[in-house]
């Protein structure tokens, strides 16, 4: 069953501004943190979008770590770290959870997914009862798959529903066709009681209809629509009249 505003796993994130004395240093110096407004999540899918460097990954990581995820990614019970470069933003975030805990969880970040895959293989090499984790990823060793195949296998096989899924640029390795398949799987998982928080540059992914889009800008954050995003408008211009776009880009007078 789809989650609603009562049953959603994560309701909102706010800033513990009373604990902040100085916004001069990373990550508190990011425009989104300096101008933070309570961010209410959609019960089904919330997108965080915006230009490179606006702080999407930092915000998503802060939310994920505040919820108990490993900064490197994986399920809530993955406890390992090769990754010391995460920020302390989570210490300044207050998360409002709903009344129910999710049964499944995953924090995916393209930049460290390789290490998560390594950890999955290490866990599988230890003798233990039950099925191997890699079986739920489609059976093939993850390092024998391409980056895109590996993530796609994880997404299609490892996500069970009734889950809380935080995905940082999941389209990074996926072809447009696979992004469409991903949308179909998001839809199934939403109908099976899942909540997604996704940062993305892909107008295909952010086109998912049952969603809220939050854009991070130099002035902070604002709710927007697919058609208003730069991503959508630039792609639209490109496909409708790329000659004109090239004319401006290449300064041909
Ligand atoms: N450990 C760090 N120390 C100082 N600055 C950092 C650190 N990590 C990231 N930054 C800076 O913070 C800003 C936001 O980075 P972040 O990765 O969150 O952006 P983003 O919106 O996810 O970008 P992209 O779309 O390129 O992935 C960038 O200017 C980045 O250089």
119 found inside a domain: yes
29 lines ligand 1 (CB under 6 A): no
CA-closest candidate to residue 193, choices 42, 8, 11, 40: 8
Has the ipTM of the complex gone over 0.85?
yes
Q: What are the contacts of 117-121 at 24+ separation with CB within 8 A?
A: 117/142, 117/143, 117/150, 118/143, 119/74, 119/78, 119/80, 120/74
Residue-wise pLDDT tens digits, 68-98: 988 777 667 666 555 555 788 999 999 999 9
Rounded to whole angstroms, the Cα distance separating 243 from 60 reads 37
125 found inside a domain: yes
Q: Which 8-state DSSP code applies to residue 154? A: I
Q: Is the pLDDT of residue 153 over 90?
A: no
Residue-wise pLDDT tens digits, 8-17: 999 999 999 9
52 lines ligand 1 (CB under 6 A): yes
Q: In which domain, by residue range, is 191 found?
A: 10-249
Q: What is the CATH number of the domain that holds 216?
A: 3.40.50
188 found inside a domain: yes
pLDDT in the model for residue 79:
62
94 found inside a domain: yes
5 found inside a domain: no
Position 136 confidence tier, pLDDT thresholds 50, 70, 90 = low
217 found inside a domain: yes
Is the CB of residue 220 less than 8 Å from the CB of residue 228?
no
- Mean pLDDT of the chain, nearest integer: 86
Q: How far is the CA of 59 from the centre of ligand 1 (A)?
A: 10
Number of domains in the chain: 1
Q: Which 8-state DSSP code applies to residue 74? A: B
55 found inside a domain: yes
Position 177 confidence tier, pLDDT thresholds 50, 70, 90 = very high
Residue-wise pLDDT tens digits, 206-241: 999 989 999 999 999 999 999 999 999 999 999 999
Structure tokens at 105: 């969880």
Task: Give how far Cα 52 sits from Cα of 67, 78, 199, Å.
Answer: 25, 28, 11
Site to probe by mutation for ligand 1, drawn from 49, 55, 230 as the one with most ligand atoms within 8 Å of Cβ, is 55
Task: Give how far Cα 33 sits from Cα of 20, 132, 144, Å.
Answer: 11, 41, 40
Average pLDDT of the residues in 35-47: 96
* Residue predicted with more confidence, 216 or 251: 216
pLDDT in the model for residue 47:
98
pLDDT in the model for residue 199:
95
């Amino acid at each position: 069953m789809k989650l609603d505003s009562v049953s959603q796993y994560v309701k909102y994130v706010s800033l513990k501004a009373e604990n902040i004395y100085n916004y001069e240093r990373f990550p508190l110096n990011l425009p989104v943190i300096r101008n933070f407004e309570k961010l209410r999540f959609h019960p089904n899918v919330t997108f965080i979008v915006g230009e490179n460097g606006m702080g999407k990954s930092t915000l998503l990581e802060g939310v994920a770590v505040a919820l108990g995820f490993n900064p490197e990614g994986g399920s809530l019970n993955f406890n390992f770290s090769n990754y010391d470069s995460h920020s302390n933003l989570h210490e300044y975030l207050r998360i409002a959870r709903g009344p129910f805990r999710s049964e499944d969880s995953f924090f995916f970040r393209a930049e460290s997914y390789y290490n998560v895959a390594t950890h999955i293989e290490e866990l599988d090499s230890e003798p233990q009862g039950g099925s191997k984790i890699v079986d739920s990823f489609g059976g093939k060793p993850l390092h024998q798959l391409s980056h895109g195949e590996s993530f796609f296998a994880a997404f299609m096989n490892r996500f069970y529903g009734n889950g809380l899924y935080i995905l940082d640029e999941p389209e990074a390795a996926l072809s447009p066709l696979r992004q469409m398949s991903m949308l179909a799987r998001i839809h199934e998982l939403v109908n099976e009681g899942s909540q997604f928080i996704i940062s993305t540059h892909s107008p295909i992914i952010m086109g998912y209809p049952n969603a809220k889009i939050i854009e991070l800008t130099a002035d902070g954050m604002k709710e927007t629509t697919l058609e208003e995003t730069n991503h959508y408008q630039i792609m639209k211009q490109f496909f409708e009249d790329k000659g004109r776009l090239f004319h401006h880009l290449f300064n041909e007078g």
